[in-house]
Structure 1
Amino acid sequence: METYWSEVRSIKEEEEEEDEEEERKSMDEVELEEVWLMEAGLSSLVNSSTAEEVQPPPEALLSTLSRQQVATVRRRLDKYNETLKTRNREPIRDVRDIFTEPDDDDSAERCPSPPSTPQSRYHTPPKPSAETLTEFVPVSPSQGLTCADDLSPCDLMRLGFISHIELSTFLLALGVQSKRSRPPRRRTRDSGVFAVSLNSLLENDRKKFPEVKVPVVFKKLLCIIEQTGLQTEGILRVPASAARLKFLRRELDRCCGGFDWSAVRQVDAAGLLKLFIRELPTPLLTHTHMSTYRSVLGVSSVVHQVQALQMLCLLLPEAHRHTLRALLVFLRKVVSHQDQNRMSLWNVSMVMAPNLFSWHHHGNKPSVIRQQEEMEEAVGGAHLVRLMITHQDLLWTIPNFLMSQVRQVNQASNQRQLGLSKPKRRLLRRKNDKNHRHQITELCEGVIRVHAPLHTKVSMAIQLDGQTTARDVTTRFEFDSSSPVQHLYEVGGNITERRLHPDCLLLDVFRVNPHCDWLIKL
């Protein structure tokens, strides 16, 4: 534990004198439920604003939920209405008007009810023993694994709504609850490097590097340590001079573009990296779900903890998700050199925990109780960091059942936007099912047309069989080994756009999305 407390002491020494943050206060019941419903994509149920036109109609989203997910939304809506009534305010629509009973055909379109055990909805092995921490490997469905970066922004937004509902359902099934607090007021700057939001940094960086996804200064700090510090004993743990960090910070804020990086030593880069993370106006893991991360510690199964972290990471904003991913990849490299740098997985986790999870005082509680709470906080934070480092590849992988629900939301939303009534949707569905079966029969014997607008040959007919993969198709468009990496995408139908995994079977992709187009691009 000395590693953790040493890092906490270093943080306190490096902090500049500034006003203390406001005490974080819990949200009241109305605000809590209203925020939850808005994050579930159901903002139109609590206000009449139509600003978010890109959101699917609430009926489209609700019609695709599993029974357990429906029960979660019902519970939140009921609680919201009951609280409004106690305050003599007009409740929103009756929950029975929102969840109309589906007919048999509609029921068939919805996701199957989840198994009684949450673990079985995710592709993970049984709970590991206390002595080992086996890495979980996602099992690839035949239509291919999907990572968050493989989806379009529109599909990611809809995935976020479903993941938000599923996370609440999942934790409720495990008997875990979290009480959200209002974010504290933190110093925010519009220019410089430190205390500047990730979005602002990226907006500035993209003027020179349009495709950048992680702030340039963050990547530079990681690069300095990777090039010269991975084998340095105590890297990340040994603190830099507080006075020197203050000087370097001031210089970076003053002239980031013309900063002399050659003067930054390994230990300086490590200190600046941790300082950058701590001073983000919105924490890397965000205010929104910070309390939920801590609630995950109340889950007894390591498997379920990883599954909860997986959904939490899928809920991160894009800039935070990419930056966290870069950090976790870097931390895994540090651990891989532990024979030289003496930074084991637990050491690295202990050092990073107080930087990712804000350390706070415990008031005037008796010393024994205070020490016990601080110890639990230290071990708990380090445990979460260790899980994220170990299972980082799984964190960005979308569970197959959530992908299925995204497709159903898209399909339901498209039908409702066309203004089709329920009988017409039912007739159309039956017609599509008939056409779908006919198309599959034809496809097994025929071809698909793949479009490649960046190539001289802009399209190609591809003969499919049960073993044809996305890699087989992209290989046909490659002329030599120096060609840039290309990917096959499914576009349209029940998805906006998805980059296909090289090993996915195209016939199975067709079966889940028969009306898509096939597109090759970088």
Structure 2
Amino acid sequence: NFRLPKDKTGTTKIGDLAPQDMKKVCSLALIELTALYDILGTEFKQQKAVKIKTKDSGLFGVPLSLLLEQDQKKVPGTKTPLIFQKLIAQIEETTLETEGLLRIPGVATRVKGLCQELEAKFYEGTFNWENVKQHDAASLLKLFIRELPQPLLTVEYLKAFQDVQNLPTRKQQLQALNLLVILLPEANRDTLKVLLEFLQRVIDHRDKNKMTLKNVAMVMAPNLFTFHGFGSKTIEQSEFVMAAGTANVMRFMIQYQKLLWTIPKFIVNQVRKQNTESQKKEKKDKAMKKLLKKMAYDREKHEKQEKAPNDTDVPQGVIRVQAPHLSKVSMAIQLTEELKAGDIVARFLSQKSGNVQTLKKEEVFLYEIGGNIGERCLDDDTYMKDLYQLNPNAEWVIKPKQS
């Protein structure tokens, strides 16, 4: 059973980094994935799809990005399609203990009728959800995934996801899946995450619903892995051969989803290295430009004047943490071997004041900003002294996580 290795500088989850750093993570992940497949003698090639005529509005058979665009006008900030969220909620509303949930299909004619009715009434809010039986909702959910004009795992990477089963060891299979999840577009990744979390909740009731990890993977794999848009028959012909293998890949995705949604430490360290190098290059470029010399000199002088009082203010081994949203807006924190990010947040939250909006512990996080990273949300178990040594020029800010 694979677990995340404990890292004193904290686990970095997808979504914790600033967009400019995440871009670098994706470039590095692509290089890493190509190298991994290459070493193991498996060809890694980003696929191209034949052009398919797609709908430009509605629910079923609409490209995911387009669907999200129209949904965000109705619910700003939503990360997964509203119909997708509603179908999952509808299945869960009854009970997840129903025997054969996801395996037993709804009545085909009824599902087809519901599908048409949803297309007409969902956005108007006039659709009557009381008419939808649980097995019908599960069938509609699977239909929604299958009907996406481009597969949820994307045309580019679907074959690479399928080929994970050909890698020799479990460790390499999980490494490849981790890199593939990182490479997915945000909309696809967020939708996949919500789906996998839901599937795990179904499995949690396996004693009653008889839907074990293996059963759920077998039932769901064809919905994610079957795609007829490559314009070649080779993939269709090998579908039967592939079925058992993709069910294994599906099983890993459900079982190890927490691990798959983290960014490997070596990639985060490479991003830090790239940022340090580009900062050095920037400094050199500035020094070479005559026109900027005076400005650079003035700025340095200004910075020195600004820094002077602070240098005496913050002694060695102490960091200054800012918390603009809390009643205690700034605090000098003495670093010790055992001090963690969660301890600092807790210390700030214990300083209550009546005139500031009360924020709960799960709503605010400590961020590492600047130095050799753009911005990174820290997990509570990050050892601050170790991280400070890794990035001594960072600023430390407590703030709510952006949704």
* Smaller-chain TM-score bracket: 0.7 to 0.9
Q: Is 1:186 paired with 2:52?
A: yes
Match of 1:163 in 2: 29
Contact 1:191 1:253 (8 Å CA) reproduced: no
How far has the Cα of 1:421 moved from its partner?
9.2
Residue of structure 2 equivalent to 1:375: 240
For 1:216 and 1:158, the matched residues in 2 are separated by: 30
Question: Is structure 2 residue 147 aligned with structure 1 residue 279?
Answer: yes
Please provide the CA RMSD for this pair.
2.8
Q: Give the 3 Å change call, closer, same or farther, for CA 364–175 of structure 1 in structure 2.
A: closer
Superposed counterparts of 1:381-392, under 5 Å? 381-392=246-257
Q: Give the 3-state SS of the residue equivalent to 2:381 in structure 1.
A: coil
1:26 alignment counterpart:
none
Task: Name the residue aligned to 2:214.
Answer: 346
Letter in 2 for 1:222: I
Deviation of residue 178 (structure 1)?
3.2
Residues 199 and 283 (structure 1), Cα distance of their counterparts in 2 relative to 1, 3 Å cut: same
Which structure 1 residue ranges, 5 or more long, are not aligned? 1-133, 424-441
CA distance change for structure 1 residues 511 and 244 in 2, over 3 Å: closer, same or farther?
A: same
What residue is the counterpart of 1:474 in the other structure?
Answer: 345
SS at match of 1:449: strand
- SS in structure 1 at match of 2:320: strand
Residue type at the aligned position of 2:223: N
Partner of residue 123, structure 1 = none
Question: Which residue does the alignment assign to 2:271?
Answer: 406
Deviation of the 1:208 alpha carbon: 4.0
Which of residues 331, 342, 364 is equivalent to 1:486?
364
Report matched runs for 1:61-100 at 5 Å: none
Inter-partner Cα distance in structure 1 for 2:53 and 2:18? 33
Task: Report the Cα offset of residue 293 of structure 1.
Answer: 1.4
Distance change in 2, residues 1:330/1:421 (3 Å): same
Q: Quote how far apart the aligned CAs of 1:173 are.
A: 1.4
Q: By how many angstroms is 1:301 displaced?
A: 1.0
1:153 to 9, 14, 19: 19
Which residue matches 1:197? Answer: 63
Deviations 1:85-134 (CA, angstroms, capped at 9, x unpaired): xxxxxxxxxxxxxxxxxxxxxxxxxxxxxxxxxxxxxxxxxxxxxxxxx3
Supply the distance in 2 between the matched residues of 1:247 and 1:403 (Cα, whole angstroms).
49
One of 232, 238, 258 as aligned partner of 2:98: 232
Distance 1:421 1:459 in 2: 33
TM-score normalised to the size of structure 1?
A: 0.66
Name the % identity: 45
Matched, 1:511 2:389: yes
Matched residue SS, 1:521:
strand
- Which of 124, 129, 134 aligns to 1:266? It is 134
Query: Are the structure 2 counterparts of residues 516 and 445 from structure 1 closer, same or farther at C-alpha, using a change threshold of 3 Å?
Result: closer
Shift of 1:513: 1.2
Please list every run of at least 4 consecutive aligned residues from structure 1 whose deviation after the TM superposition is greater than 6 angstroms.
Answer: 361-365
SS at match of 2:15: helix
- Asked if 1:302 is matched to 2:179, the reply is no
Query: Given that residues 47 and 157 in structure 2 are in contact (C-alpha distance below 8 angstroms), is that contact kept between their aligned partners in structure 1?
Result: no
String of CA shifts for 1:28-59, please: whole Å, max 9, x gaps. Answer: xxxxxxxxxxxxxxxxxxxxxxxxxxxxxxxx
Instruction: Give the number of aligned pairs.
Output: 367
Gaps of 5+ in 2: 289-312, 353-357
Q: Say if 1:192 and 1:256, in contact at 8 Å, map to a contact too.
A: no
Q: Go from structure 1 to structure 2 and tell me whether the alpha carbon gap of 1:418 and 1:198 turns closer, same or farther (over 3 Å shift).
A: farther
Q: 1:457-498: CA deviations, max 9, x gaps?
A: 322222221211111111122257x73321000111111110
Alignment map for 1:394-473 (pairs within 5 Å): 394-420=259-285, 445-473=316-344
